[in-house]
Amino acid sequence: MRYFNLLILLFTFSLQVAIAQENSQSPYLGQTPTGQVAKAFAPGIVCTDYYEYSGVFTSDMKEFYFLRNGGKYEAQTFVVSEYKDGQWVESVVSPRVGQPIFSPDGKTMHLGKRYKERTATGWSDVKSLEEPFKDIAIMRLSASANGTYYFDTFDRENLSFPLRYSRVVDGKHEEPQVLSKAINTGTYLSHPFIAPDESYLLWDAKREDGFGDSDIYISFRQADGSWGDGINLGENINTEAWEAAATVTPDGKYIFFNRNIGSDQYDNVDIYWVDAQVIERLRNR
């Protein structure tokens, strides 16, 4: 009997070790995959009682970049959690330099109208976009696979600032164009994320059909090339609180976004994630 009990203990221990190793190798910082209702991402690891914002994975899912503020971080700080030697390890990249989002090929880290390029030894120094973007106040810029930029145009004097896009024509980006009213309706239109194939666009705004503060919306490209009416992502994602800055993971499985958990001072903003199947359900409804 003692021998049998010992075998059970050894088996249980081995199983726990195997589960721990499997979790540490997970492309989502060892987190159990989320479902159709959004939940905070990696509580105690990424999400804390402070400010965590704009979480994005690199194309190989081995680096997770986001912004922190609070606790030991007295100012907004750009950090990365990297998968090294079977563990996820967090380190500081720099003070905040913009809201990170990656090009579909993984070679460019867009930071609003600034950016970094992937090199053989890591990321380049921060560079700035030239004309026609030089004088535009861009919070977030997202690029499609063919190089078209989609971006917001923040303006403190006009809360109806529109989302714009700029295609590559003859090797250069054209003058930015304003997207249609299907998308540019409401106020605080911000943080666009374009699908690599430009089949859909995610963004956030305050609109009459919303749940309270800013909500996340989606528009699908129509057969004639126009954009369909904006669709609220629904109560499993949007609440009376501020939801914003959505992206889709490089593997297409999850939507990451932000929610204000704290006060009107946004002192506790958390990164949330939810199954990206909501996109297909809304596409096919």
Q: Give, in words, the CATH class of 31-283.
A: mainly beta
Q: What are the domain boundaries of the chain? A: 1-27, 31-283
Tens digits of per-residue pLDDT, 3-15?
Answer: 544 444 443 334 3
Q: Is the pLDDT of residue 168 over 60?
A: yes
Residue 160 φ/ψ region, left for φ over 0, alpha for ψ in the -120 to 50 degree band, beta for the rest: alpha
> pTM higher than 0.85, yes or no?
yes
The residue assigned the tokens 């529109």 is: 162
Tens digits of per-residue pLDDT, 234-254?
Answer: 999 999 999 999 999 999 999
Q: What's the mean pLDDT in 44-56? A: 97
Tens digits of per-residue pLDDT, 91-141?
Answer: 999 999 999 999 999 999 999 999 999 999 999 999 999 999 999 999 999
Q: Residue 86: helix, strand or coil by DSSP? A: coil
Round the CA-based radius of gyration of the chain to a whole number and report it: 20
Measured between alpha carbons, how far is 203 from 147 in angstroms, rounded to an integer? 18
**Nearest alpha-carbon partner for 269 in 281, 257, 282, 278:** 257
